[in-house]
Structure 1
């Protein structure tokens, strides 16, 4: 029954993208569910189409539609969360960012005024019940699909089948066109070199993790360090409720640190909304009943995060100012990534019983010319986007320690943050804090204050 319907709907990529008309809004699948063959076929229509608006989410690589038409006359490319390729395009005027709180991803499609004329997504092969599994990303894809006038799936035999709570698959009856893809290999995140600074930050964080904590980890080298430290520790009965599933969870699970049995929500399951890592991770999640994929509106729901006791969120930042404002998505006017779920998990984890929300960053950065600057700033750089307002920040961690900010006055925040800055920059930060009228240390000799902070 379903195979005959499949056959009727199966076309090549060039035929499928003929459904796109000038002026349409086209949504791409999220992260590694982004279309590859369909994107290339659509790019071949550059010059033929006009004013087609494309929305992506973390496209792996560089979308061909943007490369095919740098002028933007045929294709105007936009993204809810930048990958490296989308950042490259943005730097050259070829990609616009769409601000969003990730937990609202489903809602803006379900209840908002967004138009989606065509939705294109990579999926796993159809099963005997007629379902195509979304595999690596649940995210807001089913909401995008329901909003779309035309749905095109690109089948990739390499896509893992990921069990879920709901929203993890689409039925053949909901699909207009099926394209057998060229079975693109799933992109593996490059292994970021682990530094001594990463290890120092990780140690400060792991010391704060209790038995039975429920973890959310962000992207980058730090989660891998933390995962390795936890795997080698005696911490037990950890749970997982995270927007992104990364390799570190595999290491912790195989070491027996994760049981998921002390969670209030989905006990026994690692809950996530998309996965991004290495082949090890993709093999682990394939048909694994220990993992459960849900839409982002479920996973990142503030109250659901908070419902799990001892929720712990661990995320990175670009810079933090002395007021406690966290900038995690841009450097000046340069958009680097996106808001993602950082706000969701910082808020939800703090409101969890016994929960903790950490923002982690190295105390300094080195530019291409070798100049070293502090990532703890007096105030955010001109044009820099604030991802977390100062009122939403609990802990900030550098290699020099942990600053606790909740309930603290502006001078207490400045003192705590200067205390975890690189020693070479503390004196200068004190002077700037004095100018900003948030430094009570001005009442005592500065050398004595610096000495007490260093100690």
Structure 2
């Protein structure tokens, strides 16, 4: 065994002893989170004061998600998910609003502290390198700033190409584990999602480059693209939907105008089959999110198609994609990054997708004005196409009145009359 590697190998309990009170721990997105380290931190959480764990999309509800011990260890969400949402809505988990693309820069400028990094990693190669293939995201930037870098090395983590490599000399401690990487299946797709998917898929041309967000509607689009040809991928998340497009022959990246021949992503979340596909695959590169989500770089792909979901859209086109009124639900993520990238792209199209109603048809998701307190995600000046199961509203270049009419036209028929009356009251009709 490599002498330096052996000297840095330790147990999870020994690794968390490297923490100091007041530290901020940076943890990668989703499947990149290291369970052995976070379980050890949870078990010893009352030993610390004012330690924060900052992460996008926590996957497991660790014991440190505890309202009674938040003065010891507190979660700081960069994007809420199922594990962290209730803590955010109850007010005892913190939230940092930010564009996904800008998180590395915020860390490098010390606007978000990065004292410690806990991350999953592949086994070390003969050159002393580990791959953070599951999530390069903001973690690569944090490693440059951190006092302590602890890697949970696991043989089930794939080795990917790209800017996701960490050298042994950058690592403070190594914890070994072999439990399977967390898997996430494709979301369930109902009739409404399928109808929206058809609307979007019909507008995607052969030779387009795709950015696909996570969720039932984006995956409904993906399932209807298997007959397309020469598609490319430049996205933040690679999942099983994209893998299906590769297997069908729809994605080959041959007509990409930025990094032709390569799929590009910043984090992976899917099945064991996906992680196996990623391993040493020359077609795929994993890069920090400051690269993948930079609107200038992503927009160099001709025919860039961005597909992202929202919770509510008002008659000007403002999207509330991350909260239920004032209650946080998710986060900004990369939605704005890729809407802007698609708007820059030659022939690009940015789609905001949502069902026309919520609560089993009781309320309209197309609304006169956003519900008070709603966090605006994508602004009216950026939104291009809004899609429900009832059609497509194209907004860029349209007047406020034209926007309102187009959006009312894709609302559920049961709500169109009252939307028109509301539009008159706010002088949009």
Superposed displacement of residue 108, structure 1: 1.1
Counterpart of 2:166 in structure 1 is: 170
Superposed displacement of residue 162, structure 1: 1.6
Counterpart of 1:58 in structure 2 is: 57
Alignment of 1:311-350 (within 5 A): 311-350=304-343
CA-to-aligned-CA distance 1:87-110 (integer Å, 9 cap, x gap): 122133331111111111211122
Counterpart of 2:27 in structure 1 is: 28
Alignment of 1:410-449 (within 5 A): 410-439=400-429
Cα distance in 1 between the residues matched to 2:293 and 2:45 = 37
Counterpart of 2:240 in structure 1 is: 247
Superposed displacement of residue 281, structure 1: 1.7
Cα distance in 2 between the residues matched to 1:278 and 1:45 = 31
Of 192, 199, 202 in structure 2, the residue corresponding to residue 207 of structure 1 is 202
Counterpart of 1:103 in structure 2 is: 101
Counterpart of 1:447 in structure 2 is: none
Cα distance in 1 between the residues matched to 2:9 and 2:365 = 52
Cα distance in 2 between the residues matched to 1:62 and 1:424 = 39
Instruction: Judge conservation of contact 2:217–2:354 (CA < 8 Å) in 1.
Output: no
Superposed displacement of residue 225, structure 1: 2.1
Alignment of 1:22-421 (within 5 A): 22-67=21-66, 70-164=68-162, 166=163, 168-181=164-177, 183-231=178-226, 233=227, 235-366=228-359, 372-421=362-411
Superposed displacement of residue 287, structure 1: 1.6
CA-to-aligned-CA distance 1:187-230 (integer Å, 9 cap, x gap): 22243221111111111111111111111101112232222211
Superposed displacement of residue 432, structure 1: 0.6
Instruction: Judge conservation of contact 2:64–2:73 (CA < 8 Å) in 1.
Output: yes
Cα distance in 2 between the residues matched to 1:249 and 1:35 = 25
> What is the SS of the residue equivalent to 1:108?
helix
- The count of aligned residue pairs is 429
CA-to-aligned-CA distance 1:298-343 (integer Å, 9 cap, x gap): 1111111111111110110001011110111111121111101100
> What is the SS of the residue equivalent to 1:312?
strand
Instruction: Judge conservation of contact 2:186–2:240 (CA < 8 Å) in 1.
Output: no
Cα distance in 2 between the residues matched to 1:172 and 1:19 = 17
CA-to-aligned-CA distance 1:71-100 (integer Å, 9 cap, x gap): 412112101111210112213333111111
> What is the SS of the residue equivalent to 1:281?
helix
Deviates more, 1:110-119 or 1:353-362: 110-119
Cα distance in 2 between the residues matched to 1:324 and 1:29 = 32
Say what the alpha-carbon RMSD is for the aligned residues: 1.4
Deviates more, 1:411-420 or 1:150-159: 150-159
Report the CA distance shift for 1:398/1:371 in structure 2 as closer, same or farther (over 3 A).
Answer: closer
Instruction: Judge conservation of contact 2:368–2:423 (CA < 8 Å) in 1.
Output: yes
Report the CA distance shift for 1:89/1:242 in structure 2 as closer, same or farther (over 3 A).
Answer: same
> What is the SS of the residue equivalent to 1:425?
helix
Gaps of 5+ in 2: none
Larger radius of gyration: 1
Cα distance in 2 between the residues matched to 1:236 and 1:192 = 24
Superposed displacement of residue 371, structure 1: 6.2
> What is the SS of the residue equivalent to 2:417?
helix
Cα distance in 1 between the residues matched to 2:161 and 2:8 = 25
Cα distance in 2 between the residues matched to 1:81 and 1:37 = 22
Deviates more, 1:307-316 or 1:270-279: 270-279
Instruction: Judge conservation of contact 1:263–1:309 (CA < 8 Å) in 2.
Output: yes
CA-to-aligned-CA distance 1:216-269 (integer Å, 9 cap, x gap): 1011122322222111x2x21111111111212111111111121211211101
